[in-house]
Structure 1
């Protein structure tokens, strides 16, 4: 299947918010009892609209047979005094609809993110996933991500 990945425009903000809301319910809602599941509907539109004009942010969607089937939101974290020379590309949010998984859509999104990040000077990459989300962890490991830090919570 040919995967159509495109940058989010103002017209696609509602579809992006919808995908983020689904991610919150599918992932955060299952793995984080403190997560505010209403955030995407309450604040998502304004948040993602501001990212459209932020040169250090990338918002992508991918199209499936029935419209937007997934998204990726990435940010650049510029170097700081603790990490001189490091520009980190942070994969902030990503989802592919369950019926479209294992079709290459996720890989298409990550590849586009990698290209964008490298072309903007990134020399480090990060993603955060819930420890209990073994499918996401396997996907990210398959794209070269490795454990770096572990957060313990109680």
Structure 2
């Protein structure tokens, strides 16, 4: 992980990590879209005690700045269907449903 196509942010309170995010520049198969590169927010986690204090917004602002510097304007992410806090956060920042990923667990 890492390199020019990856941005890793760590939020600190004193010397304690209280959150982190991983964002990447990825490529679509060109048959899907006109522009093949897009941004993907792989992970963003803020410790429960530090949520609703603007830390996520600060991280997201930095991610948006980084994507813009990479000439990336289409940004995707995945949020668990049961994660209402996360779904609300992303919706508040303009993210909308694009596709639904389904799964089936069979056997072990």
TM norm structure 2: 0.88
Residue 25 of structure 2, aligned match among 55, 62, 76: 76
Q: What is the DSSP-based 3-state SS (H/G/I as helix, E as strand, rest coil) of the residue aligned with 1:129?
A: coil
Unaligned runs of 5+ in 1: 1-49
Aligned-partner Cα distance in 2 for 1:116–1:87: 14
Ranges of 4+ aligned residues in structure 1 off by more than 3 Å:
none
Match of 1:105 in 2: 55
Q: What is the DSSP-based 3-state SS (H/G/I as helix, E as strand, rest coil) of the residue aligned with 1:70?
A: strand
Deviation at 1:80, TM superposition (A): 3.9
The structure in which a higher percent of residues are helix is: 1
Match of 1:144 in 2: 94
Residue 67 of structure 2, aligned match among 109, 117, 120: 117
Aligned-partner Cα distance in 1 for 2:68–2:103: 33
TM norm structure 1: 0.63
RMSD after superposition: 1.4
1:93-141 CA distance string (max 9 Å, x none): 1100000000000111111000000110112011101000000000011
Aligned-partner Cα distance in 2 for 1:144–1:81: 25
Deviation at 1:84, TM superposition (A): 2.6
Deviation at 1:85, TM superposition (A): 1.9
